[in-house]
Amino acid sequence: MFLITLVPSCAGPMARDVDSLALCMQALLCDHMFSLDPTVPPMPFNVQIYQSSKRLRIGYLESDGYTQPSPSMARSVREVKALLEAAGHTLVPYRHLNLEYAIVELVVKGILADGATTLLQKLEGSPVDPCLEAQIVSYVLPIWLKKTLSFLLKPFFSRASVFLQGLCGVGSIQDLWKQHAAVEDYIQETIAEWRKCNIDALLCPVTGPAYNHLYCGKLSSAASYTVLFNLLQFPAGVVPVSTVNAEDEEELKHYKGVYQDQWDKLFKQAVCGGEGLPVGVQCVTLPWQDELCLRLMKEVEQLVKQSKA
């Protein structure tokens, strides 16, 4: 039998430029780090891959099909796609495999396998950030009430109905093992899809711009753009490439969303009024290809800078 962490968290260094992130990775992937932590694979940072100028075949998507991107998110991907193509790279459309299933059955149930019991125990006696209050309230509900609400919501808010079922956890140890197997299957199926598409990396949106106050805990659904790569254990990095403009704000007025439900309405409200705020794109690669991920991020950074010069 195998044992994996269902949806592993990871270090997420932030820096003013990609070179600084590469320097951070060089410091982490070194002999001294391997001696400090024997569980870290002894794979030194490959500078040659980071500095390579090889033309890449890059998959791209403007929307993940679960959360409709804000106009600035989609525009940023289109603009970077055009810059990469002009630089000689090949861009091909890509689509995630069965994303709704992955988000609810694998991510939500993976993170909250015990129905959020352990998380709530850790939070006991602590103040709850008002931004996260709505999220915590949904965890506190007893399982019987979550299932009842799920049933009642199904006809007119199907996404929340399925989400509430996910918050109930996996149910038993036997079901937990099935969950582990399902996650491993999904990872292997996604890798097979990448190989079928013959892509080196993926270009996709990252949720943005920054939300208005108190919306964070109400919109776990929009995490679909990033949390999927935690599940897959794929290296991913974000590069700021643009800012929200007046045209984005005007287009946002017509935003409907994929499901046209309450979460889509909340997302529209959350990003409304963001003119001038930064928006990024996300670069993703297969496991253990952190240097390639950083290399693509660096090229995106340079191309955007040159286009604004």
Quickly count helices (H) and strands (E) in the chain: 15, 5
Instruction: Spell out the residues 6+ positions from residue 32 whose beta carbon is closer than 8 angstroms to its own.
Output: none
The candidate with the shortest Cα–Cα distance to 61, out of 35, 80, 87, is 80
121 domain residue, yes or no: yes
Q: How confident is the model at residue 32 (pLDDT cuts 50, 70, 90)?
A: confident
298 domain residue, yes or no: yes
41 domain residue, yes or no: no
Q: pLDDT (tens digit, 9 = 90+) per residue, 247-283?
A: 999 999 999 999 999 999 999 999 999 999 999 999 9
Q: How confident is the model at residue 3 (pLDDT cuts 50, 70, 90)?
A: very low
Q: Which residue range forms the structural domain that includes residue 261?
A: 52-308
115 domain residue, yes or no: yes
44 domain residue, yes or no: no
15 domain residue, yes or no: no
- CATH number at 132 reads 3.90.1300.10
27 domain residue, yes or no: no
14 domain residue, yes or no: no
Backbone angles phi, psi at 102, to 5 degrees: -65, -40
According to the model, what pLDDT value does residue 1 have? Answer: 32
C-beta separation of 84 from 300 below 8 A = yes
Count of domains for the chain: 1
3-state secondary structure 73-96: HHHHHHHHHHHHHHCCCEEEECCC
Q: How confident is the model at residue 9 (pLDDT cuts 50, 70, 90)?
A: confident
Task: Average the pLDDT over 185-194 and give the result.
Answer: 97
